[in-house]
Amino acid sequence: MVQSLNYLKETPSQTAGPYVHIGLAPGAAGFDIYEQELGKDIAGPNAGGDRIRVEGLVIDGTGSPVKDVLLEAWQANAAGVYAHPESSGEVEDGFRGFGRVITDFETGEWAFDTIKPGCVPGRNGTMQAPHINLWIVARGINVGLNTRLYFEDEAEANAKDPVITSIEWEKRRATLIATRRERDGQPVYRFDIRLQGEDETVFFDL
């Protein structure tokens, strides 16, 4: 007797849901689980280079801040070297280069402290302008979004960056540039991420 096979239906795609902070940033959600949790000082206290602060909002298609976002950031150090054993340069002792922050539940603001990264070697002998890689996840986002933050005071390097210059429309390139200001003598870079709309941030399919 031949039996027919019953195939299960594909599970619908799901968003990150409201519990992403418990799993990825439990300390911010009020759970004291880890002895040392990845946090807002991405570079570490002993990293060389210029100390900066980065802050912004994640904004939805209606222009409202999204208040349950988790962002991961990773970057090179001031010499353009990532904290990875296969990096092309000498890895700086104590430099982490990776962090994880969440938005304020009331205002939607996010922020972290780090050092300004240096230029990073790219493919085929090219150099990438100083930048910070960002990954964004939140309720309502089915797949984490990848983008980059570049610095407005690195205009010369930005003009030669192979990633920025691969974006056809100059107006779209501007969505990757963080603006600089000073606060209490420290450089502060503002980078608002727009999920939809006319000024939607450029996201990368990695």
Helix/strand/coil for 125: helix
Is the sign of the CA dihedral 163, 169, 170, 175 positive or negative?
negative
Identity at 156, one-letter amino acid code: E
- Residues 6 or more apart whose CB falls under 8 angstroms from that of 126 comprise 160, 162
Would you say 48 and 92 are in contact if contact means Cβ atoms under 8 Å apart? Answer: yes
Helix or strand run (H / E) with residue 172: helix 170-173
C-alpha triplet 70, 206, 142: angle, nearest 5°: 45
Residue 128: per-residue pLDDT? 97
138-188 confidence digits (pLDDT tens): 877 778 899 999 999 999 999 999 999 999 998 999 999 999 999 999 999
Task: Work out whether strand 177-183 and strand 186-190 pair parallel, antiparallel, or are unpaired.
Answer: antiparallel
92-149 confidence digits (pLDDT tens): 777 889 998 989 989 999 999 999 999 998 888 889 999 999 999 987 777 889 999 9
Residue 198: per-residue pLDDT? 86
Tell me: pLDDT of 61 over 70.
yes
Tell me: pLDDT of 65 over 80.
yes
Nearest CA-CA partner of 44 in 100, 113, 102, 118:
113
68-80 confidence digits (pLDDT tens): 899 999 999 999 9
More confident residue, 167 or 85: 167
Tell me: pLDDT of 23 over 80.
no
Residue 95: per-residue pLDDT? 84
* Terminal C-alpha separation, the chain: 48
